[in-house]
Amino acid sequence: MLGKVDIVSRGPAALLPEPSTAPPGDPHAVVDALTLLEFARCPKRLVSRQGPPEPALSIQVNALRHVVLAPAAFDKRFRVRPDTYTVSVLTCPSCKSTSAASVCRKCGLRRANVTSTRPWASGAESCRLWREQAERDRVQPLRSDQQAALKLAFGRLAQDPYVAPLLADNLGPLRLEGAWHDAETGLDIPVQALVDFVPPPTSQYWDCIAFLWGTQDASPDSWTRSAYYGALQMMAALALDLFNAVQDEPRRRILFALSETNPPFEVGRRLLTPDLVQQGRAQYQQWLTRYAQAVHQKVWPGYDPDADAREAWTPVDVEPWMKDRPGSLGFVEKKVAA
């Protein structure tokens, strides 16, 4: 069961999970849905990390999240890189040849410093200095074409009549923290979740929380499959339950506003059904219980069993899906029969 829950940050600070000060596997390590997904895949791999798993956000998706959810913080996190740089070169005033020599051997004239504009080159001195300054300022460089893509993606979201109300009136984003009490072990596991959009009570989405999600393919079939295997239903259910723990009027519905990551940046809109939310809730509760047991017992299994030499190797056999793949015997037999 979930214990005391607090809203620990609002605005730009809530765009990314707060890194845990304790390593994975420590009873005080803060756990989120991504941690649980990594634990479900391989507990040993999770605790072998130097730190908690981080969301695999491309710079384009991360920048879009700032443009949509925290525009005032954009310039503190990103900087648009120039397309060109300038350099002074010694140039002959007559034949226009360039050289490091101060006098042109052909014309006998003294060369003058002439400013030249060139396409951006990472190896150029001024480009290197610009990059080093960006690193010192802790900002991520964006190319001008990436900046243009951001404007287009944001424009598509803002023009969508069903997504626009989320952007126009938002009480989030929020980061929430609580504790999961495991009855069997007695442990209280710290948990956290992010909520991107919190519509106000006056909104048509008053009973919803919502998320902004970048995806290569927003078509319903493709996104549903990738979302399920990425455990977004678990992430959303945990966020909903943490959010409702601090609200007088609980929310019931979970929305995902999708933005494709390639032109023309098509928009998608998804509503998780109650059955899928309940499945996500059952998943996070199941994996938190198993995580608490692993922490308590200090046992973190790997991909394969620890056993006698021959039993420690996981067998790989013919799977049903292999028979219908191009190049398989079953696939060839079908083609011959046809």
Give the domains, in start order, of the chain with CATH numbers: 6-77+143-297 (3.90.320.10), 78-141 (no CATH), 304-338 (no CATH)
Locate tokens 């005391």: which residue?
4
Kindly give the confidence (pLDDT) of every residue in the chain, 338 residues in length, as a single tens digit, with 9 standing for 90 and above.
Answer: 677 788 878 888 888 888 888 888 999 999 999 999 999 999 999 999 877 777 778 899 999 999 999 999 999 999 999 999 888 777 777 777 777 777 777 887 777 877 778 899 988 888 999 999 999 999 999 999 999 999 999 999 999 999 999 999 999 999 999 999 999 999 999 999 999 999 999 999 999 999 999 999 999 999 999 999 999 999 999 999 999 999 888 999 999 999 999 999 999 999 999 999 999 999 999 999 999 999 999 999 999 988 888 889 999 998 887 776 665 555 445 544 54
3-state SS, one letter per residue, for 215-226: ECCCCHHHHHHH
The mean of the pLDDT values for the chain is 89
Q: Residue 106: which residues within 8 A CB-CB, separation 6 or more?
A: 92, 95, 97
Residue pLDDT, tens place only, 236-285: 999 999 999 998 889 999 999 999 999 999 999 999 999 999 999 999 99
Phi, psi of 119 (to 5 degrees): -60, 145
User: What confidence tens digit (pLDDT) does each residue in 118-142 have?
Assistant: 899 988 888 999 999 999 999 999 9
Exposure letters 286-312 (e unless 16+ CB within 10 A, then b): ebbbebbebbeeeebeeeeeeeeeeee
- pTM across the whole model: 0.85
Q: Which two tokens stand for residue 33?
A: 């849905």
